[in-house]
A and B are shown apart, each in its own frame.
Chain A
């Protein structure tokens, strides 16, 4: 039980630290600064995701196809990292997937609706990076974004880049 709290607090502090550093030289944060913070957090998550995949899949057989990989992300990966599974996976079968989590761990303590909605994206950046890193180490280049309408439910959109 205590292990989970450690990561939650560390993640909270990481996000606020990145934003404080970016703001230290100016009074107001503009959109460029916000984008810079998000990409810092995302690249941190990328490296973590890559490492996690090496560890999580060391005993599994190789995956049949893209959809199989996405299902692995939705079930095993999400369970190991967030202690729950993705509630809904949708795809257009052409490389775009939408993963919906109705009780995303990073958002449950924030609010139960619309309060603090503008703070939500900060706390999703690291997780987007983790998914992107995981996919990249499984051989798939992708772009991962997240959106929140009503907390704590959120949608991650994965677009696989075809070379």
Chain B
């Protein structure tokens, strides 16, 4: 049971924050390319989902999974996108991502006079609180499944 990594994108596609806890395999491309790839995929899949949905769409794209990991997606009304990869035992991380947004991002980034919205998140306070929060999650364990 574990969290692998977390990305935060703004509405323009810039990756504001990335951290990993338990990543066994790297993508083999540079970090910038990886962020662009992730954002491009999210953008495409969201528009695909809204076009092809056979019913009226409520929340849109929420997550996908492979036989090894699940990717969770949460988008705020302000266009901020939170993407978290966990293992398969976590079925719904929406509340976790919502908590990260309202209790960590808003508290330590938006309310920080030095942090400019839209630039990458440098605040150590935010990083340390986020790290502590992830490690305290009931489904996190340092030994990857």
Chain A residues engaging chain B, CB cutoff 8 angstroms: 5, 8-9, 12, 15-16, 109-113, 115-116, 119, 122-123
Contacts and interface: CB of A to CB of B under 8 A. Distances in A.
Interface residues of B, number: 11
Mostly, the A contact residues are helix
Interface string B86-130: 000000000000000000000110011110000000111100100
A113 B108 CA distance: 14
Interface string B52-70: 0000000000000000000
B111 A113 contact: no
Nearest to A5: B111
Which of A9, A12, A109 has the largest number of chain B CB atoms within 10 A? A109
A8 B111 contact: yes
Q: Which 7 A-B pairs have the closest CB atoms?
A: A109-B111, A12-B113, A115-B124, A112-B125, A109-B112, A111-B125, A119-B114
A113 B124 CA distance: 9
Contacts of B124: 111-113, 115
B103 to A, nearest CB: 12
Contacts of A109: 107-108, 111-113, 125
Nearest to A152: B125
19 contacts: A5-B111, A9-B111, A12-B111, A12-B113, A109-B107, A109-B108, A109-B113, A109-B125, A110-B113, A110-B114, A111-B124, A111-B125, A112-B125, A115-B122, A115-B123, A115-B124, A116-B114, A119-B113, A119-B114
B48 to A, nearest CB: 38
A111 B123 contact: yes
A47 to B, nearest CB: 22
Given A109-B107, A109-B108, A16 B125 contact: no
B105 to A, nearest CB: 12
A105 to B, nearest CB: 11
A112 B107 contact: no
A117 B60 CA distance: 42
Contacts of A112: 124-125, 128
A103 to B, nearest CB: 13
A16 B124 CA distance: 21
A21 B29 CA distance: 43
A19 to B, nearest CB: 10
Given A109-B107, A115-B123, A123 B113 contact: yes
A16 B113 contact: yes
Contacts of B123: 110-111, 115-116
A3 to B, nearest CB: 14
Contacts of B107: 109
B107 to A, nearest CB: 7
Contacts of A16: 113
